[in-house]
Chains A and B, each alone.
Chain A
Amino acid sequence: MKMTGPLERVLRVFLADVSAPRYGYDLMKAARLPSGTLYPMLARLQDEGLVAAQWEQQREDAAGRPPRKFYRLTGEGVQVARLELAQAAARRTSRRPVQRDAPRSIPGITR
């Protein structure tokens, strides 16, 4: 799994509440992604068995609205997402000192 910014945001949204069902539009809003990015990503995660999709049961308050499809992480998905996010964070912190040190050697340039 190649970690990208959008993927990281989606995983974070999923992990914020693992048990919560997430609809496409809700994910778009929470992860701030356009539908054109989100759906292919969800499809890929589904293929890898990390995300499961289900149709919602018809609710009482739905007022005749059609049922929506919701997504959530599978058990494996939760583990993989946590691991990947931790690794992504680790990569960032290990890179940071190098970036921070470089400008310091040039006097007069503050970061």
Chain B
Amino acid sequence: MTTRPAKQRTADRLIRAACRRLPGEVREERGREWSAELLAILHDPDIRIAALRRARALGYAVGVYHSAGRLYRSALAASPAMAVAADDTPQWRAEQTNPLAIASMVCGMVALVFSPFAIPAVIFGYIARGQIRRTGEGGKGMVTTGLILGYVSLAVSTTLLVAFLAGLI
């Protein structure tokens, strides 16, 4: 277990990110559960090709990350006391910034220099906005920044491209 395949590192990271989106009392247990399953997938005797096992593991981690929002609501429903305390935007959540919101903003900034980054900025922006709406994480401002920068950059580069092509003709 000294050299870990790169895909597993990504999967590990995704699982940790998923756990951070969960309330404290279930976070640690879910982390142990998912890590153990991840190892089981990576050692699944039914899948012969190692690359496929890694792909499966990565898919598993992506799904787990995606499910964290719903699990969070489920945990709220299970302990009403926490729901009362947490209300709509629980404090510990608002303190966390949605990672995709950061990614969107960064891509938006890079897009000002290198316009193809406008596309991920817009895509991440919309995904992050949906996640923030569901989970109550922080990062709304970053999403707005990312989306605006992305769209502005798209508009500018499209205009320039059209002008350039028109000038050539």
Contact = CB atoms under 8 A, between A and B. Distances in A.
Interface of A: 23-25, 28-29, 34-40, 43-44, 47, 65-69
Interface string B117-150: 0000000000000000000000000000000000
B contact face: mostly helix, strand, loop, or mixed:
helix
Given A35-B59, A43-B74, 16 more contacts: A23-B37, A25-B40, A25-B41, A25-B60, A29-B46, A36-B64, A36-B67, A39-B71, A43-B70, A43-B71, A43-B75, A47-B77, A65-B43, A66-B36, A68-B40, A69-B29
A contact face: mostly helix, strand, loop, or mixed:
helix
Contact of A69 (B36, B59, B60, B61): B36
B37 A24 contact: yes
B156 to A, nearest CB: 37
B89 interface: no
A65 B40 contact: yes
B15 to A, nearest CB: 10
11 contacts: A25-B41, A36-B62, A36-B64, A39-B63, A39-B64, A39-B67, A43-B71, A67-B32, A67-B36, A68-B36, A68-B40
B165 to A, nearest CB: 43
A30 B44 CA distance: 14
B60 A35 contact: yes
Contacts of B39: 65-66
Contacts of A34: 59, 63
Nearest to B1: A64
B157 to A, nearest CB: 35
B169 to A, nearest CB: 49
B8 interface: no
B168 to A, nearest CB: 48
B158 to A, nearest CB: 35
Most buried by B among A38, A43, A65, A69: A43
10 closest A-B pairs by beta carbon, nearest first, are: A35-B63, A36-B63, A40-B70, A36-B66, A69-B33, A43-B74, A68-B36, A36-B67, A66-B36, A34-B63
Given A25-B37, A68-B37, A68-B40, A35 B67 contact: yes
Nearest to B40: A25
Interface in B43-82: 43-44, 46, 59-67, 70-71, 74-75, 77-78
Contacts of A28: 60
Nearest to B62: A36
